[in-house]
Amino acid sequence: MAGRKPDVTDDEIVTVLRDTSEHVLSTNEVAEELPIKEKATVRRLKELHNEGRVSGKQAGRIWVWWVKSQ
């Protein structure tokens, strides 16, 4: 369907962070792994952060994100 925004689940976003070999990913790095734009990615990551599903902090001018090991 032309113009339809792609659906990305919360679990897909968390999986990007969980499956990386890096300790943290920037918002841009997470967005590169998803079919949604960076603006939507940061909004979703902040929602997941508020829910306690991901950790994140501002590092200079960017945000970095990670999932704590369980």
Our CA angle for 8, 13, 19, nearest 5°, is 135
- Do the domain assignments include residue 49? yes
Q: What is the pLDDT along the chain (70 residues), one digit of tens a residue?
A: 455 566 899 999 999 999 999 999 999 999 999 999 999 999 999 999 999 999 999 999 999 999 987 5
Residue 22 forms part of a structural domain: yes
Q: Does 2 reside within a domain? A: no
Domain residue limits at 15: 10-66
pTM metric for this prediction: 0.86
**Phi, psi at 59, each rounded to 5°:** -125, 95
How many domains, the chain? 1
Residue 7 confidence (pLDDT): 87
Residue 21 is part of a domain; what is its CATH number?
Answer: 1.10.10.10
